[in-house]
Amino acid sequence: MSISHKLKIINDPIYGFISVHNELIFQIIEHPYVQRLRHISQMGLSYLVYPGAHHTRFHHALGAMFLMQRAVAVLRQKRVDISSDEEEALYLAILLHDIGHGPFSHGLEGVIVPKMSHEELSLAIMNRINKEFNGALDLAIEIFTGRHSRKFLKQLVSGQLDMDRLDFLRRDSFYTGVAEGSISAQRLIAMLHVVNDCLVVEEKGIHSVENFLVARRLMYWQVYLHKASLCAEHILMKIIKRARELRCSGMDIGIVGPLDYFLSSDQNKELSEDLLDHFLRLDDIDILAALKQWMNHDDFVLRQLSRTIIKRRLFKIKIKEVAFSEEKLEEKRQKFAEKHNLSPNEASYFVFAGSISNLAYNQSKENIQLLRNDGSLIDVAQASDQLHIKALSEKVVKYFQCYPKTLE
């Protein structure tokens, strides 16, 4: 690991000072692709509900790296062998784990670049940066993709108790002001250990794990899947869909640059250097600028939906545990279409339904193992005396419908 004699310090509102004393890490932080994350909101359109939620993916990347520094220090104290090269690779992997996010993060994932996840884009961007730095990220990419032989390194970056989740729960709780999401990340990290190259938690940390899982569930229902945020993000997706539909039909939608590239081209584009070039020039600012321009567009659908977001005139949204009647949805569509002289397709942009789900603890993917005093391992759901912990491993599905308030 390349150590710089000059210590770089970044002030974070949650953790205080974050130190960077590795020259390569600092160069990566300074890279334009990472700096772009300053203009990618961490929580999409959640600021329409929680005014303080204006933090970015850049904040999160630095915070996750700080927690990774703490995790490496704790594990080394417990005589877990982590080489200097592996340490550097962990910092690089967690710093770049979300670099493939596009405008408004999960809000437009799979919409701007259809059929492509942010993880796929992150890997492609990491490979590009790796070429610039002559293979300095080889080990980080091995860890990120899970190809490294030591499983716990991958788990620290992407697992049930990874540094990504520990930071975003704490950070999102802080910026939204939702206390239920506040977790003691550093307490949880202090309880980490490694057994058979797998990440485990010491038995005395069971209550910290319980708190983490409960906080995760509450944050999803109360913040990430808040009905107003959910409505706003689906409207935003409808706007992009409508803009693409108009652009592909030959209509002028008044935009140029990277956004026009994704709206005017084939939706089944392969991942290429050209696609990456345009994607890396795209951020929240492009979308907001387009929405402000489309507020005065001739197309009724594009104009009204854009005004809905910019002026925060969100639709009515209802959520329940059974699917909504398609017949009643169609009645609302017909009523809205007749009122505004729209086609059935155009009316479907204003009246729509869908489903949401929440699974706080996915046992089928990976278990959280507790290390007992006798050296044996047990799943946290079995060890916990809290009945709700077992319930957290069950997927909960709910259904929603959105429509203009004038239809009530």
Sorted by where each begins, the domain ranges of the chain are 3-226+366-382, 228-357+400-407
36-63 pLDDT per residue, tens: 999 999 999 999 999 999 999 999 999 9
Rounded Cα–Cα distance for residues 381 and 163 (Å): 21
* Range 228-357+400-407 has CATH code 1.20.140.10: no
pLDDT above 80 (res 280): yes
Q: What are the pLDDT digits (tens) for 284-342? A: 999 999 999 999 999 999 999 999 999 999 999 999 999 999 999 999 999 999 999 99
Average pLDDT, the chain: 93
* Token reading at 55: 């933090």
- List the one residue out of 206, 200, 192, 205 whose CA is nearest residue 76: 192
Element (H, E) at 192: strand 192-195
Q: In this structure, is the dihedral angle defined by the CA atoms of residues 45, 51, 57 and 61, taken in order, positive or negative?
A: negative
C-alpha 401/C-alpha 229 separation (Å) is 13
Indicate the pLDDT class of residue 4, thresholds 50, 70 and 90: low
Reference 68, options 119, 117, 140, 173; nearest CA is 140
- pLDDT at residue 119, rounded to an integer: 95
Q: Which of 49-63, 90-104, 116-130, 360-374 has the lowest mean pLDDT?
A: 360-374
Express each pLDDT in 141-171 by its tens digit: 999 999 999 999 999 999 999 999 999 999 9
Q: What does pTM read for this prediction?
A: 0.93
Average pLDDT over residues 122-131: 97
pLDDT at residue 178 is higher than 80? yes
CB atoms closer than 10 angstroms to residue 366: 16
Q: Quick one: pLDDT at residue 362?
A: 75
The confidence band for 270, taking pLDDT boundaries of 50, 70 and 90, is confident
Compare 237 and 383 and report the one with higher pLDDT. Answer: 237
Residues 68 and 97 sit within 8 Å (Cβ to Cβ): no
- How many angstroms separate the CA atoms of 137 and 130, rounded? 5
Closest to 358 in 3D by CA, of 181, 221, 158: 221
Q: Name the residue with tokens 């730095």.
A: 133
Q: What is the pLDDT of residue 361?
A: 76
The architecture that CATH gives domain 3-226+366-382 is Orthogonal Bundle (1.10)
- Res. 1 pLDDT band, cuts 50 70 90: low
Per-residue pLDDT tens digits for 199-224: 999 999 998 998 999 898 899 999 99
Contact at 8 Å (CB) between 103 and 239?
Answer: no
pLDDT higher for 362 or 316?
Answer: 316
